[in-house]
Structure 1
Amino acid sequence: MKTDVKALVVGGGAVGTSIAYHLARAGWRDVMLLERDELTAGSTWHAAGLLPYFNMSYATTWIHDYSIRFYKTLKAETDLDPGFSVVGNLRMAQSTARMDEYMLYAATAETVGVPFEWLTPRDIAERFPLVRTDDLVGAILHPTDGYINPADVSMAMAKGARQHGATIERRWQVDGYDWAGDHWRVSVTRMAERGGNLVPTDERQVIRAEHVVTATGNHAQRTARMLGIKIPAIPVEHQYIVTEPDPALQAWRAEGHAEHPVLRDADAKWYVREERGGWILGPYERNAPARFRYGVPDSFRADLFPLDLDRIEAEYMSFIHRIPSSEEVGLKADFNGPICYTPDGNPLIGPAPGLRNMWLAEGFSFGITAAGGAGHYLAQMMVEGEAEIDMASLDPRRFGDWITTDWSVAKNEEAYEHVFILHHPDEERPATRPLRTAPCYDRMAALGAQFGAVNGWERPNYFAPQGFDDAQARSFRRGGWWPHARDEARAIREAAGLIDATAFAKHVLKGPGATAFLDWFTTNRLPRVGRVNLTYALTGAGTTRIEYTILRQAEDQYYLVSAGAWAAYDADYLRRAMEDMAPRFGAMVLQDVTTQYGVFALAGPNARDILKALIRDPDPDTALSNARFPWLSAREIELGMVPVTAIRVAYTGELGWELHHPVEMQNHLFDRLMEAGAPHGLKPVGARAQNWLRQEKSYRAFGNELGRDATPLEAGLDRFVDLSKEFHGKYAMQDTGIRARCVTLLLDAGPGDADPWGREAILHDGETVGRLTSGGYSVAHDRPIAMGYVRPDLAAPGTRLKVRMFRDLHDAQVTEDSPYDPQNARIRADG
């Protein structure tokens, strides 16, 4: 066995073999894969092998698309048949809401180039007469996917990896990782089979690896403990049953008909496919338990759990309802095995938090579908520095260090249950909540706040009358929350609104090296002391990695504010850069002060009058004037008894301030602001109205318009990029050029009962030319608004385009940036 390698892949399932294959194919020599047992001995062996395209995540759709295309090439390359049955995938709907979900998904699929067809109940009945259709409203069919043999596709990728120069070693268990400054020392032990169990032997080795990738599946908790990090990947039981042959199905096939597509009745929460004249039924039921919360027992190998038919009785009966011929068919076999999940159902692909050259590929609930694409895009990140798609939504650092085992267990069980529950774009899953709350949580709840969770924080989405049911208000169109968000948006445009922004990530960077480092790390000029600017940190590929609002508190001290949803993700990148550059720039200290400070955003034409009533200043009438407190500046002020760092910025495009305050004084400040605001029409405002308002100003949002697949210049942020200075990623950004441009669109009307969500395709002359990244409603223009990326030649204001919503095309026009108050007269208003 080699003891010095470029990359060590730990785990020999479908994901691990794919990573080894793609790293070796990319040209890395000395790639080695270790498996503690036999290849595919984990969840791969008992997986049903389905390859569904359907996923509401843009990045995951790309991953699934790559896998499905890639698997079709393996036989020609390796001479091993992966057993790909391209039968298609029919996803049925019992309600118009389910069809709305399919249409929203299809908008994403269209931007990726995924083929699909729409079927009516009559179409289904004519093509698949064994399927009962009288209670269906339609379906979406993917004709190019299907199912595959999990073991065979893994073995094909393993053979391909060897053909490209990788080595694979079985029966070696990793027992420890130690970072040696420029490489990993990985301690491994030879395993042997005794009495049906795997036991360690006395044979041990230490492997020197420049890079390590963990693809340990159900063993992720053991991996986490060895690395000293948190990995919220914990298995959940998934069971499926195999029936005896169905005579009606056998007769149908004997007549020469093709195999049924994989059938999914999402409203009944199951999938079905043919298996040797019978059926495989896989339900996603309620109350499926998580297993191995602290690790897999040494005695558990390719084992299964007892079947729990009582738990899946409802799904089994609905299967009989949908395929009546199955009623008299007996059960032939059953499987109930662990499938790893994550809190949001998406895998963890990318750098391990806080570690160098350690990469995670964990938590694959649809591992066979994702394995090929995960290997491809992770190899791009490792070999080239970045993937060609933005992988932030799958990054392991999207979950902060505040998570616990109990939290992960509850969220993973919820994610399993939600596989077939309607995925509303405005869905808010309830498990574990509330957990992270600002002090004013109860006060906002008493005012009717309907909360969403952002990085665990409870944040108001909107405010509604007491007794309002948020779950029933959700929709793929304008839900019951819509008029409340509209009223809040109007309040900010016409009077004033108060937004809880406590979830913002907040750091203080200081020290002799802070100024030189931050100047190199970000694209914009650094502000003067007491001033603020907006700036960006780039990836090595020149794309956007972090958006910062920077307040310069002293010559060598900076207050950095970034998106709360990405707190751990951003902080890890910043710390790595600081460590790398400290020898060049000098000593620095970074303090995470996120939980020390609450934040209220007060905005609207009456904002100054509200603060005047509270500010303690020798001359309160001029304290907030442009002369003493100009736009993009900050001051230490007192509001009542609360010391506040007030920053004159407003994400809504109105006159406003961010009020950063000691979190323990938040309730006092909240009460005083609401009292002072009452005569001025102050309303509490949630995130949905704020999202609409920022689009009226063409303010880009990280995770939407801003990410690792576009440069700041492509995003139209030239004014925040100072090309006269040197900064990280500058030349890569310039070399990338302009592949697409970010634009703001106003729709002429839209469907009338819906606004874009920010996932839809943009078309011109019948051709898909871009995609939306944000969407909503403009109170200023009284029509739908959206932002997105289009071909550069179609980005000029006035260009007429079309947006796909609910299968129909709707007219839209590219506007100038900031279609509301383009001169910023309101945000700069004096008084």
Structure 2
Amino acid sequence: MADLPTQARVVIIGGGVVGCSVAYHLTKLGWKDVVLLERKQLTSGTTWHAAGLIGQLRASSNMTKLARYSAELYMGLEAETGVATGMRQVGSVSVALTGERLEELYRNAAMARAFGVPVEELSPAEVKERYQHINLDGVTGGVWLPTDGQADPANIALALAKGARQRGAVVKERIKVTGIAKQGRRVTGVDWISDDGSEQGHIACEMIVNCAGMWGHQVGRMAGINVPLQACEHFYIVSEPIQGLTQMPVLRVPDECAYYKEDAGKMMLGAFEPKSKPWGMDGIPDTFEFDQLPEDFDHFEPILEAAVNRMPMLGSAGIHTFFNGPESFTPDDAYHLGLAPEMDNVWVAAGFNSIGIQSAGGAGHALSQWMDSGEKPFDLGDVDIARMQPFQGNKRYLVERSTETLGLLYADHFPYRQKATSRGVRRTPFHEHLKANGAVFGELAGWERANWYARPDQEREYRYSWRRQNFFDNVAEEHKAIRTGLGMYDMSSFGKIRVEGPDATAYLNHIAGGQFDVPVGRIVYTQFLNVNGGIEADVTVTRLSETAYLVVTPAATRYADQTRMMRLVGDFRVVITDVTAGEGVLAVMGPKARELMARVSPNDFSNDVNPFGTAQEIELGMGLARVHRVTYVGELGWEIYVSSDMAGHAFETLFEAGQDLGMKLCGMHVMDCCRIEKAFRHFGHDITPEDHVLEAGLGFAVKTDKPDFIGRDAVLRKKDEGLKTRMVQFRLTDPEPLLYHNEPLLRDGQIVGYLSSGAYGHHLGSAIGMGYVPCEGESAADVLASTYEIDVMGTRVRAEASLAPMYDPKSERVKV
């Protein structure tokens, strides 16, 4: 007998390690009526054949925090549940075979220090001391992470399931969810059938969690949500027992796409090959349970050939197991966590890109807290499923992208690296014009964006490096044009959300910190805050009419921001519409911008008629446009909004008129370089949901004299309590090193944090960084009185610090 309840608070779909972790953590928070349904047996999808590597250093502070939590949780699970997890802190060694890879590893080591993860840089000889069996041919160095570990994946999941059961969860195997009942934007229950077809039923529930792994896309469709992921074949071999082989650290050789793990006297060799093999494009067989896929030795052979040279013992050891099992991968190699944008009570934890074991503990912990409180426990933007665009659920897109994403896990993680597959899906109205003039495109949220412009005699592609890349001088020229003359760039990809209705003003005053009862044509820069005063979105809002506003937000967060806005509508009489594709946007920036505008339009662009922070409708060439006098690069300029049908004409008119003014087409890279000189914050890096708006230095954009807006109480509290951290801008005194983000920040010789963002300030002549400095009980003068250094690849570089923008601190250039 299935013996299932007919009602539950939450139904978790999927009994892999992630589903078991969510059940475990919800019950740990005291939740009752938690039901987990597994179609076959627990762990029978991907978990059972995972390698069980428990790395702790991830690409951001919060992802590292989650991975460290996983390791700590697994260390104590056996004592709690009696189920052995096999968790051992054996450490890990990662080695480089090139200078570029060594720089990546050493930058990662510096980042580890900032995140509090023990780490040690290794010379080739020290690599050999840590891992005696390695052949050092070509090894340039490495890093040692002593607290990394390995564990038994299936037993971790079973221990989590037992812990959940002990606190009252119902965990049922061989129960398949066949349908999900919905009413509006909410699910109301799930239909189920037993594996043998003898029983079926329905569980009414308040919410569901999609932890279905490879089946997550399919289960998502049943629930009315988009979960972009694709299964791929994943290979490893296990040797015969090797005499004398004892416990060893995990070894990673990413330049050979390989990792090595000792287990019970045998050696496992796993691969993340550059071009992977998608699987299950026509659906995963309904009978799939602890299954293996057919061997493909030809596909694996190049990895094995390099491995026999790197690990000579493999040359004489026989192969005990050649394993090929499927795992799911997402379009950006980050897993999916959080509340699905399309529904108001459907949660997701799926698509773990071969790091499900090391991530499951932390992901379950974070998601359960989010579900319990209704607010993210900290910034989860890296993995929040709301980052995914609707089109990314397209099967053809997913299959093509997945051929690349598996291999990218071990590829060089160069700054500005672009995906090569599934490109060209979203193009702005100016795409062909930009392409004809030398644009080199990058991709963000599916949008093809001109990142920089190649000279006529220059190849139009990236040559990646951790040092100055091949576009460095191009961006310097674009930067000079914006600072001294005239630059034009395409901003069409930025999100444009129209808010319209009789309550539009009241609604915006409730969800955002700014004051929106302003004249028509006024532009308000502000933030959407959460109840803690953290920043959920960084936007400009233009009043178009008495009842209509345009919210402009970053391209990557448009969908997430619009989803948040829609969930906050309540009883307000407003309509919210994405109009991003309806208008192209060209930014003309620089000291000659007003002269250009006078050439293309009879309208008045003086400070009297069109001061900074205002918009007006204009004639442009033979067409019409709307111009917003704002800037993200710190110069006089206008953002020109033109309907898509007139976009080509607008570009040609502006481009032709700007030729004898020295106009230069510019890309997204230079926008970042200019904005960091002006200390403008970058959402997702410098400002996130866990960064308080006052500590971010954006209190000027919050109007606390208006009542009852989200976050108001938290802002007032912070004013009373005082700041604990301050956002500070830094400039390296050495012009050579480059900054990206996460470099350790040292104050008077001690690590106090890390850079939230970094870029090269071509006008200021050095790399510029932004970062938060602890300052509790200190004045601004106290903060600036210290000596600051930035750790760049293990070398401490002196840095000047400033609380005011280093470029044009009084914003005189933008208001001229």
Q: TM-score, normalised by structure 2?
A: 0.95
Identity of aligned residues (%): 35
Q: Retained in 2: the 8 A contact 1:435–1:456? A: yes
> Are 2:789 and 1:802 equivalent residues in the alignment?
yes
SS in 1 for 2:608: coil
Where does residue 179 of structure 1 map in the other structure?
Answer: 182
CA distances 1:396-424 after superposition (whole Å, capped 9, x unpaired): 12111122111112112211021111011
> Are 2:811 and 1:818 equivalent residues in the alignment?
no
Whole-Å separation in 2 of the counterparts to 1:183 and 1:774: 38
Structure 1 residue 470 displacement after superposition: 6.0
SS in 2 for 1:394: coil
The 5-angstrom pairing of residues 592-741 of structure 1 reads 592-617=578-603, 623-725=604-706, 726-735=708-717, 738-741=723-726
Structure 2 letter corresponding to 1:308: D
The 5-angstrom pairing of residues 399-418 of structure 1 reads 399-403=388-392, 404-418=394-408
Structure 2 letter corresponding to 1:371: A
Judge which range, 796-805 or 635-644, deviates more: 796-805
Whole-Å separation in 2 of the counterparts to 1:390 and 1:124: 35
Q: Retained in 1: the 8 A contact 2:745–2:790? A: yes
Q: 1:497 to 1:180 in 2, by over 3 A?
A: same
Structure 2 letter corresponding to 1:398: R
Q: 1:453 to 1:90 in 2, by over 3 A?
A: same
Whole-Å separation in 2 of the counterparts to 1:67 and 1:647: 48
Structure 1 residue 602 displacement after superposition: 0.6
> Are 2:546 and 1:555 equivalent residues in the alignment?
yes
Structure 1 letter corresponding to 2:200: R
Structure 1 residue 733 displacement after superposition: 4.4
Q: Retained in 2: the 8 A contact 1:543–1:733? A: no
Q: Retained in 2: the 8 A contact 1:172–1:188? A: no
Structure 1 letter corresponding to 2:740: W
The 5-angstrom pairing of residues 496-507 of structure 1 reads 496-507=486-497
Whole-Å separation in 2 of the counterparts to 1:537 and 1:362: 28
SS in 1 for 2:41: coil
Where does residue 465 of structure 2 map in the other structure?
Answer: 475
SS in 2 for 1:661: strand
Structure 1 residue 514 displacement after superposition: 1.2
Q: 1:613 to 1:455 in 2, by over 3 A?
A: same
CA distances 1:541-599 after superposition (whole Å, capped 9, x unpaired): 33111122111011111111111111111111111111xx22xx3x2112211001010
Q: Retained in 1: the 8 A contact 2:730–2:800? A: yes
> Are 2:298 and 1:298 equivalent residues in the alignment?
no
Whole-Å separation in 1 of the counterparts to 2:260 and 2:461: 29
Whole-Å separation in 2 of the counterparts to 1:461 and 1:472: 10
Where does residue 166 of structure 1 map in the other structure?
Answer: 169
Judge which range, 132-141 or 104-113, deviates more: 104-113
SS in 2 for 1:186: strand
Structure 1 residue 655 displacement after superposition: 0.3
The 5-angstrom pairing of residues 282-681 of structure 1 reads 282-293=270-281, 295-365=283-353, 366-403=355-392, 404-466=394-456, 468-469=458-459, 473-526=463-516, 527-578=518-569, 581-582=570-571, 585=572, 587-617=573-603, 623-681=604-662
Q: 1:294 to 1:801 in 2, by over 3 A?
A: farther
SS in 2 for 1:210: strand
Structure 2 letter corresponding to 1:826: R
Q: TM-score, normalised by structure 1?
A: 0.94
Structure 1 residue 798 displacement after superposition: 4.9
Where does residue 35 of structure 2 map in the other structure?
Answer: 32
Q: Retained in 2: the 8 A contact 1:344–1:412? A: no
Q: Retained in 1: the 8 A contact 2:178–2:193? A: no
Judge which range, 589-598 or 778-787, deviates more: 778-787
Whole-Å separation in 2 of the counterparts to 1:190 and 1:592: 40
Structure 1 residue 466 displacement after superposition: 3.8
Structure 2 letter corresponding to 1:558: Y
Tell me the C-alpha RMSD between the 2 structures: 1.8
Q: 1:798 to 1:664 in 2, by over 3 A?
A: farther
Whole-Å separation in 2 of the counterparts to 1:797 and 1:697: 18
Runs of 4+, deviation exceeding 4 Å? 180-183, 469-472, 733-737
Partner of residue 157 from structure 1, selected from 151, 155, 160: 160
Q: Retained in 2: the 8 A contact 1:220–1:295? A: no
Number of aligned residue pairs: give it: 802
Structure 2 letter corresponding to 1:731: D
Q: 1:315 to 1:466 in 2, by over 3 A?
A: farther
Structure 1 residue 182 displacement after superposition: 9.6
SS in 2 for 1:554: coil
Which runs of 5 or more structure 2 residues have no equivalent in the other structure?
none
Structure 1 residue 712 displacement after superposition: 1.1
Structure 1 residue 265 displacement after superposition: 0.8
Q: Retained in 2: the 8 A contact 1:221–1:294? A: no
Structure 1 residue 759 displacement after superposition: 1.7
Whole-Å separation in 2 of the counterparts to 1:598 and 1:147: 51
Which runs of 5 or more structure 1 residues have no equivalent in the other structure?
193-198, 254-258, 618-622
Q: Retained in 2: the 8 A contact 1:183–1:208? A: no
Structure 1 residue 26 displacement after superposition: 1.6
Partner of residue 244 from structure 2, selected from 225, 234, 251: 251
Q: 1:450 to 1:666 in 2, by over 3 A?
A: same
Whole-Å separation in 2 of the counterparts to 1:755 and 1:447: 28
Structure 1 residue 735 displacement after superposition: 4.5
Judge which range, 43-52 or 437-446, deviates more: 437-446
Q: 1:235 to 1:182 in 2, by over 3 A?
A: closer
Structure 1 residue 165 displacement after superposition: 2.9
Whole-Å separation in 1 of the counterparts to 2:148 and 2:99: 25
Structure 1 letter corresponding to 2:630: V
Where does residue 232 of structure 1 map in the other structure?
Answer: 228
